[in-house]
Amino acid sequence: MKTVQVLDKTFELSISEEKIQERIEQLAVQMNKDLEGQEPLFVCILNGAFMFASDLFKKITVENASITFFRLASYEGTVSTGKVRKIMGFTEDLENKTVVVLEDIIDTGITMENTIEQINAYNPKQVKIATLVYKPEACKVELDIDYVGFEIPNEFIVGYGLDYNAKGRNLPAIYTLAK
Ligand code: IMP
Ligand code: MG
């Protein structure tokens, strides 16, 4: 079992780099079909989704697709605080746009619910949700998620953009906290 140490914790390999890339390719194929003719605006939720957004967006072939960044923060350590702060908002016009929100992970779902509420205030035509990882057992809110990369049990993960106290984001694969 391949393990890594991040700060004081040990993590075990759970989703390899190859598996992540393969799944992103599949999601992109689906999005390219679904979003044809829409001139979609992808919204990368910072910080965690930057790698997912970067790898996915390279595979988006829909004409006039664009990308922007939205920054929220809610986590402290390995537990969701339930409090979401907006750190960086939009400068672009979202009115009547097809927006695709790109998130690294949906855990309690509170961040995503809050993000969608904030985005809806700009009157987009439609908002689609894409998350690389989803923890169905942890989710506390009703969310209509359009694209899910991987469903995982209610465990803490790091790597591929996801952090443990700001560390571990640079790992190219996803690792689960060892029991
Ligand atoms: P939620 O509001 O509880 O759904 O949390 C969403 C945010 O918490 C994500 O955007 C991540 O930044 C962070 N998060 C949730 N689960 C994990 C995890 O297992 N590892 C690292 N960060 C996580
Ligand atoms: Mg995040």
The Å distance, Cα 105 to ligand 2 centre, comes to: 6
- pLDDT for position 170: 98
- pLDDT for position 91: 77
- Quote the CA–CA distance of 6 and 151 in Å, as a whole number: 23
C-beta 6 within 6 A of ligand 1:
no
- pLDDT for position 74: 61
Residue 99 in contact with residue 43, Cβ under 8 Å? yes
For the stretch 19-49, pLDDT in tens is 999 999 999 999 999 999 999 999 999 999 9
Atom 11 (ligand 1) nearest CA:
105
- pLDDT for position 80: 63
Tokens of residue 139, six digits: 């989710």
pTM of the model: 0.93
Which residue among 55, 107, 144, 163 is the active-site one? 107
- pLDDT for position 90: 76
Tokens of residue 55, six digits: 């790898």
C-beta 111 within 6 A of ligand 1:
yes
CB-based neighbours (< 5 A) of ligand 2, an ion: 48, 104
The Å distance, Cα 171 to ligand 2 centre, comes to: 15
Has 107 been annotated as catalytic? Answer: yes
Q: Alpha carbon of 149 to those of 66, 108, 135: distances in Å?
A: 21, 17, 11
Q: Write out the chain's pLDDT in tens, 179 residues.
A: 799 999 999 999 999 999 999 999 999 999 999 999 999 999 999 999 999 999 999 999 999 999 999 887 665 566 666 666 666 677 788 999 999 999 999 999 988 998 898 899 899 999 999 999 999 999 999 999 999 999 999 999 999 999 999 999 999 999 999 98
